[in-house]
Structure 1
Amino acid sequence: MRLSRSFLPTLKETPSDAQIVSHRLMLRAGLVRQTASGIYTWLPAGLKVLRNIANIVREEQDRVGAQEVLMATIQSADLWKRSGRYDAYGPEMLRIKDRHERELLFGPTNEEVITDVVGQELKSYKELPQVLYQIQWKFRDEIRPRFGVMRGREFYMKDGYGFDIDYKGAVDTYRKMMLSYLRTFQRLGVRAVPMVADTGPIGGDLSHEFLILAPTGESGVFYDGALDTLDWLADPVDVDKSEDLEKFFNNVSSYYAATDEKHDDKAWESVPVERRREGRGIEVAHIFYFGTKYTKSMDITVAGPDGAPVHPEMGSYGIGVSRLVGAIIEASHDEAGIIWPDNVAPFKAVILNLKVGDETCDTLCEALYAKAPERFLYDDRSDRAGAKFADADLMGHPWQIIVGPRGAKEGKVELKRRATGERFELTVNEALTKVLSA
């Protein structure tokens, strides 16, 4: 993409209503614009980031055998009345009526819809387990939307639902989802620590929130410092073997990590003092086992091994895709702007032409751009060099390929790594190899 023809409206000044770093930088870097309270339009660069995150989430869900569906955003109130949640959910639910006075709602979550669909189609335990997921827009009418996409009313989310014939199967699915999530965050270039979380009124002992550690996090967290460097995925896991999943889960669970609500002072004392960490975290995902809550209330059964009707065991598995955009920025930025992880960035690199109109610079930049026009942003504006450098840092491209008259004559460019500030003087081919292989 050529910057001179792009819709990437950057701002020099920080908007006065933006309270946290991610909100300020998302506005300044031209990722989003607010259209109503807690509701945003995603501009081209922001949409690229959103899609990059969603694609990684999708690939890792598919990798463990989950299947993608797409449910409607508008749901029938009758389904929620069947489950008993319609009146209990609260004012966060946007309730509406159509022209025939039928009660509808804009979905804040999808347990009722997916349970109804599965109940209509699955008849036997032989058809289980099933894990179905979608990546879809949701709406919750927050009383005080704030912090940009971190606490908006409309948000983009991956929500998944597991169906198993018994508790053992549901536990396997739960562990499989935890593995998938850790792989997802590893590919996204962030460390999201799984923390034992409160299960709420449903009860049970299977609930984990995944939190990205950041000073602006809403949740207080306590965790074993060994988690800062631990590679949970070092050992291969066969997701079709219960014993492999159990070993993986026990390894993760052996290190203390909990949110405020589940903090255990006695267990905390068993962590070596030098490894105790306290801080703040941003919740970006939640996995949750809730058994037969919905299959019972909605009277959904399948035939068990002995022919008797069985209510399938369920779990829900969510990742906040749009929330992750803000969370990644909160965890990865400096005074100059965003520092995107490679797999998330809207562009792999920006090509900075420091002397537009110089034949040698123009020719070299065009040759570079032609190698990967879908992955490179070409700053072909006639602006001064300082403005180009400032925008490149603000937008957070992992690499900057800097082309000036002196180097261009020798067939060389300067390559800057945004995350570290390292600079390299390289030939064109060397620079391309380094950027495209990262």
Structure 2
Amino acid sequence: MRLTRYFLPVLKENPSEAQIVSHRLMLRAGMIKQQAAGIYSWLPLGFKVLRNIERIVHEEQIRAGHIPMLMPTIQPADLWQESGRYNAYGPEMLRIRDRHDRDMLYGPTNEEMITDIFRAHVSSYKDLPLTLYHIQWKFRDEVRPRFGVMRGREFYMKDGYNFDLTKEDALHAYNRHLVSYLRTYERMGLQAIPMRADSGPIGGDDTHEFLVLAETGESEVFYDSAVTDIRLGEREIDYDSVDQCRAVMEEFTALYARTDETHDEAAFNAIPEDRRKQARGIEVGQIFYFGTKYSDAMGAVVQNAEGEQVPVHMGSHGIGVSRLVGAIIEASHDDNGIIWPEGVTPFHCGIVNLKQGDAEADAACEKLYAAIAGLGLEPLYDDRNERAGGKFATMDLIGLPWRITVGPRGLKNGVVELTSRRTGQSEELPPEEAVKKLAAIYAPHHAHLDDMREPMANRSFHTWL
């Protein structure tokens, strides 16, 4: 994309209404625009990040064997009345009536609707286990929406629901979701710590929240610092293996890590003093096992192998897709702007032309642009007739992980400058070597793409011939 043809309404000054870093930087970088309290339009740059996060979530859900679908945002109230949650949920639920005076609601979650779908189509244990999920806009009428997308009223969320014959099967689904969530967050450059939490209006006895440590987090958390050393990394996980998923679950939850709602002071004090940590955290996901709460209430039963009608065991699992945009910024920024991890960046690198209109510099930028695009990567070429300082400030603000700077002086020596946004370190390389290095950097992040089967670093760069 050429910046002269893109819509990127960056702001030079900090917006007065923004109280935390992610809100401030998302407004300044032209990612969002507030339309009403807690409701935002996602502008092109923000929308690209949102879609990249959504793609990772889809890929990891499908890898774990879960099946995507889509349910409506508007739900009939009678399903919630059937489960007993319609009056119990509280004023956060936006209740409405249609033109025929029927009670409806803008869904804050989908346990009732997915249970209704299940009971209409599944009647035998032979169709289990089953996990369905979707990614969809939700609405919760927060009394004080604030912090931008971190606590909005409308938000984009992945919510999934498992149906199993027994509690043991459902707990395997719980563990499987924990593993898939850990991999999801790590691919986004985040360390999200699973913490024992309160189930709230969803219900159930078993639940873990996933929290990213950040000073602006709304939750107070208490944890053993050793938990921050654990990573899933490149481990191959067999999601069908009960033992393997349980082992990962136990590894990541054996050490103390809890929100203030479930904090146990005695257990916390039993940790060696140098490892006892108290901090703030941002919730980015939660998993629940709630047994037969909804299947009992709504008649979601199957016939087991003995011919008996038994209620299915259920759980639900959510990831805040839009909230993750803010959480990543909170965890990855500096005084100059955002620092996107490679897995979610809106553009893979920026190209800065230091002397727009110079024939040699223009030609070199065009070749770089074509070579990078030929790899299946997206460059953002700042082809504006602006001063170098302004171009660098824009690139730092929007946070692309890598920048290639092209100028007449470097080209005379046959080199361009490749700069890491995270470290600030630069190196001078021949243009084709800079492209090869980008290819090697991004190859692991794009292994899911069919056209990336050939290692990117081994491709020929015909545009330089």
Match of 2:66 in 1: 66
One-letter identity of the residue aligned with 1:400: R
Contact conserved, 2:227 with 2:252, CA < 8 A, in 1?
no
Alignment of 1:9-408 (within 5 A): 9-200=9-200, 205-233=205-233, 235-373=235-373, 375-408=378-411
C-alpha displacement of 1:240: 1.1
Contact conserved, 1:360 with 1:409, CA < 8 A, in 2?
no
One-letter identity of the residue aligned with 1:269: N
> Aligned pair 1:418/2:421, yes or no?
yes
1:364-418: per-residue Cα shift (whole Å, max 9, x none)?
0000111234610000001000000000000000001001111123331001100
Structure 1: gaps of 5 or more residues: none
C-alpha displacement of 1:42: 0.5
227-236 or 289-298, which deviates more: 227-236
One-letter identity of the residue aligned with 1:420: T
Alignment partners' CA distance in 2, 1:187 and 1:206: 26
TM-score by length of 2: 0.92
Contact conserved, 2:419 with 2:427, CA < 8 A, in 1?
yes
1:178-198: per-residue Cα shift (whole Å, max 9, x none)?
000000011000111111112
Kindly tell me: are residues 170 and 385 of structure 1, through their superposed partners in 2, closer, same or farther at Cα, counting changes over 3 Å?
A: same
Alignment partners' CA distance in 2, 1:67 and 1:347: 29
Alignment partners' CA distance in 2, 1:68 and 1:345: 24
Alignment partners' CA distance in 1, 2:2 and 2:191: 33
Alignment partners' CA distance in 1, 2:301 and 2:233: 36
Kindly tell me: are residues 367 and 199 of structure 1, through their superposed partners in 2, closer, same or farther at Cα, counting changes over 3 Å?
A: same
Contact conserved, 2:165 with 2:312, CA < 8 A, in 1?
yes
Structure 2: gaps of 5 or more residues: 442-465
Instruction: Provide the identity percentage.
Output: 59
C-alpha displacement of 1:205: 4.1
1:302-339: per-residue Cα shift (whole Å, max 9, x none)?
11121111110110100000000001101110000000
Alignment partners' CA distance in 2, 1:332 and 1:17: 21
One-letter identity of the residue aligned with 1:261: E
1:233-268: per-residue Cα shift (whole Å, max 9, x none)?
565432112111222211112211111111122222
One-letter identity of the residue aligned with 1:325: V
Contact conserved, 1:150 with 1:323, CA < 8 A, in 2?
yes
Kindly tell me: are residues 124 and 379 of structure 1, through their superposed partners in 2, closer, same or farther at Cα, counting changes over 3 Å?
A: same
One-letter identity of the residue aligned with 2:176: K
Across the two proteins, how many residue pairs are aligned to each other? 438
SS in 2 for 1:305: coil
TM-score by length of 1: 0.98
Contact conserved, 2:185 with 2:191, CA < 8 A, in 1?
yes
One-letter identity of the residue aligned with 2:302: V
SS in 1 for 2:261: helix
1:28-65: per-residue Cα shift (whole Å, max 9, x none)?
00101111111111011101100000000100000010
One-letter identity of the residue aligned with 1:16: S
